Amino acid sequence: MQPRRKILASAGTAAGILAVLGAGAVTGSVPSLDSGLHGHVLYGPTCPVERAGHSCVRPYQATISILREPTHRLVATARSAADGRFSVRLLPGRYLLEPQSGRPYPRSTPQTVTVHAHRYSIVTISYDSGIR
């Protein structure tokens, strides 16, 4: 058991450690595991007329492609849970979030977000249901 611990702790196995932790792509150096995104995906409107005290927006399960800016290289894919929330570990930097949209609805627009060292950035992704 002791030799295994030493192997996992070596820098050469960073890819294996990150794969187990679900941190996304490895870019050649050991990334900070304390930065990334916390997101919430919303879908609406869900009713033709919104009444006081009743929301016409609900959480939404969606897949979001995360591309590194400015290269547009895919570094991760996130899938929101039933409550619309997702979290992904990322290196500090700028990213383009591309939510997968339906044809023609539901649809969402790409957005750029900056991840800072030792912090999780918060992002909300809104999907348009097409109801008018």
Per-residue model confidence as pLDDT tens digits over 20-78: 333 333 333 445 479 999 999 999 999 888 788 888 999 999 999 999 999 999 999 99
SS3 of 46, please?
A: coil
Of 2.30.29.30, 3.10.20.30, 3.50.50.60, 2.60.40.10, the CATH number of 32-128 is 2.60.40.10
CA separation for the pair 124, 111 (Å, rounded): 10
What residue segments make up the domains of the chain, in order of their start? 1-27, 32-128
CA separation for the pair 64, 77 (Å, rounded): 6
Residue 18 has pLDDT above 80, yes or no: no
Q: Which of 45, 48, 47, 21 is nearest to 126 (CA)?
A: 45
The model's pTM: 0.71
Tokens at residue 44, please? 């609406």
52 burial class (0-12, 13-18, 19+ CB within 10 angstroms)?
A: exposed
pLDDT band at 5 (very low <50, low <70, confident <90, very high): very low
